[in-house]
Structures are given as C-alpha cells and as structure tokens.
Structure 1
C-alpha cells in the first residue's frame, strides 16, 4: 500500500465512520504528510504497512527540536490514530506508535473576557460604515450563543427560530444542535438582516447565508479573525483574543452565574463533558459559594 492510498482511505474513514469536520481531517492528514516529507528527506524507502517503530522514534525526536511540547503531543496523537486505523482494517498487525509516549503537558487555560471588556470591544464597532451593524451582530452572536467560527459563518436565515428563542447550529461532523438565543442577540441580528443585508447584491448560492461580505458572499474564517483582531486593538485590550475567546467567555460566564455544566456542554456541542471543563475558569470564590449553597453541612 502506498502512502497516498493509505491517506485517502484514512480520510474517508474519518469523514464517514467518525464524522469529523473537514478541518479536523485536514489536520490529521497533515501529520502523515509531515512524516512522508521526513522519509523523503532522509531517503528512507518504506510504506505505511512496513514502517518500523525506530524510524518513527527518530522522526519524533527530530520534530521535537522544531516544535513545542503541545504540538509534539498532537502530532504523536495524530499518528497513533492513523496506525490504529490500519490496525483496525487489518492492514497491520501492530501499531508502531504504541510505545512512543507524548510529552506531558498541562492544560492550557484559555483567555476570557469580562462583560465590561466585551462591551468595550462592541463599542469600538464603527456603525458609520455599512459593515458596522454586521460586525456588531457577529460579536453579539459569538458571545451570545457561544459559537465556533465555522458555525457562525455557516449560519443560515433558515436556522433562525426567533419566535421559539433558538437557532439551529451545524457543528463538527455536521452534527446539529439547537442553541438558545437571547433577545439582545436577536435584536442586533434583526437590525443587520433587515437594514443592511437586504440591500446587498446577494450572489447565487448565498441567498440563505446569514452573514455576508460586501460582495454578497459568505464570510471566510480569516475575515472573522480580522474583524475581532481590529476591534480588540481599538479597545486596547492586552490579551490573546480570537473569535474563540467569546465562546470561552460565554461558557465561563454561564458557569460563574450558576449554570449547570451539563447544560453548557449541550449548548457548546461537546461530545464529552471533559472537553467542556477545559473552558471553565472556576475561581475559588465560586467553588466556595457552590459548597455553601448546596452542601447539607454548609
């Protein structure tokens, strides 16, 4: 079996069997491509079914000189997944990555924004420009519904169920979930939709897409990052802020105000509650409050 065939079969497996998103599949494939480039640079002639542990160990060792521990751990995890697939399909009898351990890394707690900082960022939106109302609605939706960037740009008019107080969100692996949407977020989406969007020359195929660029097409992920970056710079906030930060803040603020972790998990669309816990910045005062409120011997 050639590497190209193995990668193609693996991508098909990730898409059909595991239901992963295109972005996740690309990242898994890049791990294997990185290994292939290393083999070519070292003039090592071996395929996915015959490659041995020693070669992989040397590859990981060389890679460790170039990337941080977190990237190294992700690479090892990706390669283990690939060889587990070959094992699962009976292409191999063993996984050569089994005895290769990833470096120990602590959980990276994401930056969050306070409500005051979010209001400050939104106040920096230039409403004198045509895209101002759109950008304001985008930030309100990222924070108000805790969406991923991919979920935001793929949001459609037909996904809005404002009378019921929900939006239909298509998450990773095309899995859909209903997320509550508050009156404030609804208000700014309606302003954009009714006063700005309906005046655009909407291109064919984008008639149902909610957030559009000036040419009437779907916004890109990069454009959302640019919008957030510029607003944060204007606000003078010295934190590592990305569109995902609003999702972190959404979850954290809900928890701090007494929301149930399981409910937050469902709104974020996490399969495992362990993933949800990573988003939580729970300070000691909040834990003490929970103890004093709910424990029978408080």
Structure 2
C-alpha cells in the first residue's frame, strides 16, 4: 500500500489539504465531491476499503481480532485467485459461490465472521460505485449458535451431533489448576515458575479475565479501594476499562509470587512492568521483563490439561466461561455479572443465565407429583 496509509497520522492542519490533493490527482471524487471508485484500479479499491473500513476500526480492537480480519481477507483473496477472478468480476454468481464455499468449509462462528467481512467489502464497493449493484444482499450467513459450545459429530455415518459446553465444573477447574505448577521442568527459577503458573490459574478462574487482559496486567494495574480490598483495573475489548475485585486467596498468591521474584509488594500505580513475563534461563528474573505471550500461556494450560488427563480442547478461555456460569449459579445479579465480565451487551450474559436455568429444571420437576 502507498502513502495513503499515512493519512491518519497527519496533523489536522495538513490532513484535509493532502487528502484533497491525493483524491483530486487520482480522480476519485464525483461531481458531488463524494468518494467514487467507478473507474479506479482494484489497488485503489482495496486501499480505501482497508483505510476507511478496517484500519479505522482496528485501533479499538485486540490483536487477536485484527489477526482474524487479516485471515478473512486472505481467505477471500485465495478464493478469487483459485477461480481466476478479480474484484471487478464479482457479481451474483460469485457472491453465491463464495457464500457456499465459506458455509461448507468453516464452522458457524468463523463462517459468520468471514461472510461479515465480505459483506462489508461489498457494501463499501456499492457505496463508492465500484459495484453498480447491492451485491451483499445475496449473502446468507449460517445461524449463530447461542452460547459457548463445541459441536462434534457423534459418528461418521450419523447426522446427529453432540454438543459440549466449553467450560469446566468447579471440581475439574480446581483439579486442573493444581497441575499448572507441576508442568515446570526447569531447575532454574523453578519456585518462581511454579508460583507464576499457579497464580495464572487462579486469576483466570477467579476473575473471568480474557487471556489478552490477563497478559496485559502490570503491577500498577492493582490497587486497594478505601475499604482495603484489592482490585485490578483492566482494559478490555474496545479499549473499555473495568474494575475487577480480587479474591483473598488470589491476592495471597499474587503477593507470594511477587516476593519470590524479589519484588516489592507495595502497590505502585506507576509501575508499568508486566505482571507475567518469561522466566526460563534467567539468572535475574526481575530484569529484562519480556511480557508473557499468548502462545506461551496457551502452552502452559495445554500442558497442564494433558498432565491432568482432562478434555484436550480445554483452553485458557474455558476458565472465563466457568467463572461467569458460577457467578450466575450463585445468584450474582445479571447486571453485575455483565459489568464484571466486560460483556458489551447484557444479551451475551443472558445466554449463560438461560443455560443455568435449563440445568436447574430438575429442581422444578422434583416438585411435581406425577404418580398417585
């Protein structure tokens, strides 16, 4: 991409002038001074689509979401290349063919996201006159499955599927956490690594933090409120801030972990050093703190899962689902759970509540006398 990608970085003083010049020089304005890509190159079309519809949004999205968008773009480009198509060639048949390809190849959640990316691209093309027809109207997304589930085939010859919730019960969660320290094989910094892994498990299980939120924690993210209780200030999806209370058991592990590193346990709001960082082969673990990465966190959890002999699909995110469900099972108000979990809409939280209520239907059934 050329220097148009630098436009958002320009000062307000120069932004308008340079944007006007670039658009005028490339004849990309119509008689109404609206962006028109009728006669533009495909390069211009893609450039403006990403600049106006992706990059501007991505500033508030997580690296994981940005990576997903790039994957969606790559999927579309590969499809077009394999069928010797250009973006100008896209019409009704191509939209239907790509729609069918995505729905057949990907699970519902991924298919919905990839088709949403395709819809946005087609809508942008229609808005800028690159496409003369409103092609996105022919996209049909698969039905979204509510909740957090894994769907597996029960048998190759059967159409029936088995649905499993992506969460743990309390006993399995505690059992799995107990294996996090046991996966440490290194002799150097063994104590610190064991305490770090145990703290990771407790934070995931007792706070409902997303993996990205956990890894973004600094020592300065913690603070005591006026009553003396420990809280963590978190920046979640969409750069939204929220505050999460820390259970006493987790707090003790946090302080114990800090002491094992030779770090102060005094809260310092200005300390931006990462809470979790790589410790292997470090003679002085408190120096050169390289923040723990998601692949490293994922590996830690997966190794514990393997050692514990639990469901192989368990990932760090399962603890978040477990936490939200346990809050609702213990009658924490829906609105409180929504804010605590950082859900953007209460309908997301309500999905958990619906399943909790379904699991409790036996309580109502026992009250009914069906036999005389």
Q: When the two structures are superposed, what TM-score results if normalisation uses the length of structure 1?
A: 0.83
1:190-229 alignment, distance < 5 Å:
190-196=255-261, 198=263, 208-214=273-279, 216-229=289-302
Distance in 1 (CA, whole Å) between partners of 2:58 and 2:222 is: 27
Distance in 2 (CA, whole Å) between partners of 1:230 and 1:183 is: 27
Partner of 1:294: none
Are 1:133 and 2:198 matched, yes or no? no
- Greater CA radius of gyration, 1 or 2? 2
Are 1:58 and 2:75 matched, yes or no? no
Distance in 1 (CA, whole Å) between partners of 2:346 and 2:92 is: 34
Structure 2 runs not aligned, ≥5 long: 1-43, 150-164, 185-189, 265-270, 283-288, 365-372
Distance in 2 (CA, whole Å) between partners of 1:155 and 1:238 is: 28
Partner of 2:222: 160
Contact 1:151 1:169 survives alignment (8 Å) = yes
Distance in 1 (CA, whole Å) between partners of 2:115 and 2:91 is: 15
CA gap 1:197/1:265 in 2 versus in 1, 3 angstroms: farther
Are 1:247 and 2:320 matched, yes or no? yes
1:83-232 alignment, distance < 5 Å:
83-85=122-124, 95-107=134-146, 108-109=148-149, 110-124=165-179, 125-126=181-182, 129-162=191-224, 163-196=228-261, 198=263, 208-214=273-279, 216-232=289-305
Are 1:72 and 2:111 matched, yes or no? yes
Where 1:179 maps in the other structure, the secondary structure is strand
RMSD, aligned CA: 2.9
Decide which of 59, 63, 87 is 1:22's aligned counterpart.
63
CA gap 1:13/1:289 in 2 versus in 1, 3 angstroms: farther
Distance in 2 (CA, whole Å) between partners of 1:197 and 1:222 is: 26
Give the C-alpha shift of residue 239 in structure 1: 5.8
Where 1:241 maps in the other structure, the secondary structure is coil
Are 1:2 and 2:45 matched, yes or no? yes
Partner of 2:356: 282
CA gap 1:45/1:84 in 2 versus in 1, 3 angstroms: closer
Distance in 1 (CA, whole Å) between partners of 2:71 and 2:126 is: 20
Distance in 2 (CA, whole Å) between partners of 1:191 and 1:132 is: 11
Contact 2:99 2:140 survives alignment (8 Å) = no
Q: When the two structures are superposed, what TM-score results if normalisation uses the length of structure 2?
A: 0.67
Contact 1:197 1:212 survives alignment (8 Å) = no
Partner of 2:28: none
Contact 1:20 1:172 survives alignment (8 Å) = yes
Distance in 2 (CA, whole Å) between partners of 1:21 and 1:130 is: 29
Contact 1:270 1:276 survives alignment (8 Å) = yes
Distance in 2 (CA, whole Å) between partners of 1:254 and 1:236 is: 26
Partner of 1:293: none
Contact 1:14 1:25 survives alignment (8 Å) = no
